Amino acid sequence: MGIKVVRRPKLSFTERIYLGPIVKGLRLTIGHFFGTLTDVVLRRKQHERKTATTMQYPEERWDFKDNFRGAPVLVSDQFDRMKCVACQICEFVCPPKAITIWPSEFDESADDVEKGVEKYPERFEIDMLRCIYCGYCEESCPEEAIFLLQEAELVGRTKEEFVFDREKLLAMGGVREDRALKWHNK
């Protein structure tokens, strides 16, 4: 049965009339107030801010490293030609079988035939819900026609919306300059 003596700290006069601590506290909060105000008024970026260090999501996003692998997409070359020649290597190498290609042959009269291209993907679909972002398609593509973007925020309401077709993939991929121009220099 021990008696516990609660020690009451002796308060100084300023502490007893509350004023000293109150002023101290007010100084602290106003410092934070003006700190945040400066950050907001100067529109500082997340990494420059000392306050409000939370990322303001839609405006600010993660800086991904260069080797980050996001959504796979198709690209065109600088002459606005779809680079994919429907060889289907990506389809075969894809571990989760997310890629489906319906290859088709060019007509005799098409421009590309003269350059030596024979096939093109009539339909090209990637199921983004199946995709595991492994990057094998990009690695294996002999035409450098499929790339992984730094994009990781795909949004949809139904499963079907996540099956991206050829036009959508091309639009997302945009243009990538082709250095070899293997079909043009033939």
Query: What would the 3-class secondary structure string for 100-152 be?
Result: EEEEEECCCCCHHHHHCCCEEEEEEEEECCCCCCCCHHHHHCCCCCEEECCCC
Q: Which is nearer to another protein, 56 or 104 (CB)?
A: 56
| Least distance (Å) between residue 47 CB and another protein | 15
Task: Please identify which residue in the block is written with the tokens 């300023």.
Answer: 14
d(CA 33, CA 50): 12
Residue 100 contacts another protein per CB under 8 A: no
Q: Which is nearer to another protein, 28 or 129 (CB)?
A: 28
Two structure tokens written together for 60? 């600010």
**Binding to another protein in span 46-85, by CB under 8 A:** 51-54, 56
Residue 42 contacts another protein per CB under 8 A: no
d(CA 172, CA 146): 11
Two structure tokens written together for 156? 């949809």
Residue 132 contacts another protein per CB under 8 A: no
d(CA 149, CA 64): 11
Q: Which is nearer to another protein, 36 or 100 (CB)?
A: 36
Q: Taking contact as CB under 8 A, which single stretch among the options 29-37, 82-90, 154-162, 167-175 is the one that binds another protein? A: 29-37
Residue from 11, 14, 15, 25 touching another protein (CB under 8 A): that is 25
* Contact assessment for residue 130 and residue 164, using Cβ atoms and an 8 Å cutoff: no
Q: Which is nearer to another protein, 30 or 42 (CB)?
A: 30
Residue 28 contacts another protein per CB under 8 A: yes
- Binding residues for another protein, per CB under 8 A? 17, 22, 25-26, 28-30, 32-33, 35-37, 40, 51-54, 56
